[in-house]
Structure 1
Amino acid sequence: MTVTETAATTAPVPPLAARATAIGGSPVRDILAVTARPEVINFAGGLPAPELFDADGIAAAYRDVLAEDPGRALQYSTTEGEPALRAALADRTSARGLPTGPDDVLVTTGSQQALSLLATALLEPGDTVLVESPCYLAALQAFAFAGARVVAVPGDDEGIDPEALGELVVRERPKLLYTVPTFQNPTGRTLSADRRAAVARAAAAHGLWIVEDDPYGELRFEGERVPWIASHDGAGDRTVLLGSFSKVMAPGMRLGWLRAPAALRRACAVAKQAADLHTPTVNQLAAARYLADRDLDAHVAKVAAVYRERRDAMLAGIAAALPDGSTWTRPEGGMFLWARLPERYDTTALLRPAVDRGVAYVPGAPFYAGTPETSTLRLCFVTQTPAEIAEGLRRLGTGLRG
């Protein structure tokens, strides 16, 4: 038998799982790949400003843990996370009004992993998940991979509409509600205290899990902090709070966490064992050392002050850049501004002309679980200087007007 004959009779490899071919990649990642040229002013990414990382402080933390106990720092760790880091996270959470002990916390490899673990632990194929409209894109991906049926909750510039939520909970019988209530991605809006209380009441009344994702909450520029949904009466036994160091320390460390009721937290730990055993030990110990030796809150305040200048620069130039009849959000913190152009505009079709003029944004359509609003777009304002923002908005105006 010849090589040719052998090849001709070889059976094809089995196909990929249906979910692997049905779920597309991240449009944001695709845009970043296209707009990597240095001359492009990139409002598309959700990346923190690298020049503001406390590189010296983080490097010192790594040096210290590696010098003092390299065997531990480079060894396997427990799935739940390093005790020193879990204790520090519990203390920070308690200080912000939500009593928390170390055993309430599971350390994850970025808060994105927390979403995947929760999808594994909570969702069966066909379960219904409620999300905001629009919604954080990677959450939509995580729930879709789990085979969930994702339903958008109507809202307005203040976020989820509590009445619409109540109606959907009764009609759809969802397993969970996912929300980013503070400086939401992609809109930058913040859910009011009254609406948070209404969400908590709906969950308590109808047996609903709440996944409260808070990666941006510490990046407040103005206004008063709004308490977590998890702190409201009736929400404590059904709310999972997600946090992350990606926006306040460094995303490359890939450190997130979840605070959850005991049974769900244990289920997530089992899912994590199957996924990656544990989050890298040296990263956890370095973060714990940084929290012990440095003032993270002071560092975040410096970062937020710079981000506020950049937000103000974007707000100052946005009216001239967008077509007449456009509207946009005014975030009190975070990283994003959301704009809605008149309905005749298609921001997906307009992206290429904008990139050709040296500026990029993210079209709004991928952020919708239901019918997309194709005239929307997301702008990230934190990675450019005010001068670069002004020039980027000038280019954006030229691109949108053809």
Structure 2
Amino acid sequence: MNPSVIREILKVTEKPGIISFAGGLPSARTFPVEAFAAACETVLRTDGPAALQYASSEGLPALREWIAGQLPWDVSPDQVLITTGSQQGLDLVAKVLIDQDSTVLVETPTYLGALQAFTPMEPAIVGVQSDAEGIDVDDLAKKAPGARFLYVLPNFQNPTGRTMSEARRQALVDTARRIGLPIVEDNPYGDLWFDQPPPKPLTARNPEGGIYLGSFSKVLAPGLRLGYVVAPKAIMPKLLQAKQAADLHSPSFNQRMVAEVLKDGFLDRHVPTIRALYKHQCEVMLDALTHEMAGLDVQWNSPDGGMFLWARLPAGLNAIELLPNAVDKGLAFVPGAAFFASDPDPRALRLSFVTASEEQIRIGIKALADTIREAVKG
């Protein structure tokens, strides 16, 4: 097991005066504190003893039913397992599907937390070539023989912010079905679209050929530590056994609070406010990049949702080496190398635009530009 590069960087951001584009933290301004205060009172008053007691490993039936009913394909609540954050879902999938030296395929780059979850099982993690539309299906077909599964984040990916196109999704699902490759689809950011929702999930196109992971962290609050796994019925018993061995069950009190908050269509009213905030934050960062990076050979993308954008430094620069100089100027970011299964791009970096204020974004991007100019001059 290896330490999280991001968690180590977050320690730096605790220093006074540091503007952080590093953490993948939702904006605390989006947390529905009042709704949870009311739900807490209701749960303790009406169902207190059960909320504070041990519970079933599968999760609260009402919450599993709600999740099944929200998904855009036919799902039974029996196929839903509540997890302690979607990160635990990755851990359970790894324990059930990975053996030592087996092959696991991932996007290039991919979510660092998935690499951390998979690595203790000692697989061979193989990166599949990817572009702005997502996975390169031809490269996938070459590398797929013998692989246990492909792990993919189609929507507003962490770290790049890219979204897999409709054509690429269908080609990926068709190829995976043809060669018998399971897909583990991670979708924590799918509801955070700016102007229009992303194409339908991969799992909806082939439900028996994939495992789907979701989370309440980005639409409600990460401190609840609640996520879920949706899987074919044949694999659920093994995932449940792994869950029981890990922590018996996710917090029953938290599950009841979430079910109470969700029961009256709360997300339909709440999530649009998150989208509007994040869209504005993203636009501010893109505008600042355009203004401050003038004359520098810096590249970046323009995401359609989510929390991140992906940037690339001028030739010859290294994001890891640049970071201490940026911190000296009051800015933290995440070097992109940590997100690669192999052959990392030393020039890449991830910028999160959701937690900093508008003023902090402009100040931080200027600090980044100043740091890059100094490095280019040598």
Deviation at residue 321 of structure 1 after TM alignment:
3.7
Q: Which of 339, 358, 364 does residue 330 from structure 2 map onto?
A: 358
Asked if the contact 2:103/2:147 (under 8 Å) is kept, the reply is yes
Give 1:141's aligned residue.
Answer: 116
Question: Deviations along 1:238-283, whole A, 9 cap, x unmatched?
Answer: 2111000000000000000010001212111000100000001000
Give 2:70's aligned residue.
Answer: 92
Deviation at residue 200 of structure 1 after TM alignment:
1.0
Q: Aligned letter for 1:380?
A: S
Identical-residue share of aligned pairs (%): 45
Question: Deviations along 1:17-44, whole A, 9 cap, x unmatched?
Answer: xxxxxx3200000000012124111000
Q: Distance in 2 between matches of 1:50 and 1:252?
A: 11
Larger radius of gyration: 1
Q: Distance in 2 between matches of 1:40 and 1:155?
A: 33
Question: Deviations along 1:361-389, whole A, 9 cap, x unmatched?
Answer: 00001100010000000000000122221
Q: Distance in 2 between matches of 1:38 and 1:396?
A: 18
> CA RMSD, aligned part only?
1.1
Q: Which runs of 4+ in 1 moved over 4 A?
A: none
Instruction: Confirm whether residue 160 of structure 1 aligns to residue 135 of structure 2.
Output: yes
Counterpart secondary structure, 1:191: coil
Instruction: Confirm whether residue 309 of structure 1 aligns to residue 284 of structure 2.
Output: no
Counting only pairs closer than 5 Å after superposition, residues 317-332 of structure 1 correspond to structure 2 as 317-322=288-293, 324-332=296-304
Question: Deviations along 1:339-369, whole A, 9 cap, x unmatched?
Answer: 0122311010000000110011000011000
- Between Structure 1 and Structure 2, how many residues are aligned? 373
Q: Distance in 2 between matches of 1:364 and 1:159?
A: 17
Give 1:177's aligned residue.
Answer: 150
Q: Distance in 1 between matches of 2:77 and 2:40?
A: 22
Q: Aligned letter for 1:199?
A: L
Cα separation, partners in 2 of 1:223 and 1:70, compared to 1, 3 Å: closer
Counterpart secondary structure, 2:104: strand
Q: Which of 51, 69, 91 does residue 29 from structure 2 map onto?
A: 51
Counterpart secondary structure, 1:46: coil
Counting only pairs closer than 5 Å after superposition, residues 371-386 of structure 1 correspond to structure 2 as 371-386=343-358
Q: Distance in 2 between matches of 1:99 and 1:297?
A: 21
Asked if the contact 2:296/2:373 (under 8 Å) is kept, the reply is no
Q: Which of 322, 337, 340 does residue 309 from structure 2 map onto?
A: 337
Q: Distance in 1 between matches of 2:38 and 2:181?
A: 44
Instruction: Confirm whether residue 78 of structure 1 aligns to residue 51 of structure 2.
Output: no
Counting only pairs closer than 5 Å after superposition, residues 115-154 of structure 1 correspond to structure 2 as 115-154=90-129
Name structure 1 gaps, 5 residues minimum.
1-22
Asked if the contact 1:359/1:395 (under 8 Å) is kept, the reply is yes
Q: TM-score, normalised by structure 1?
A: 0.91
Name structure 2 gaps, 5 residues minimum.
none
Give 2:213's aligned residue.
Answer: 242
Counterpart secondary structure, 1:401: helix
Counterpart secondary structure, 2:263: helix
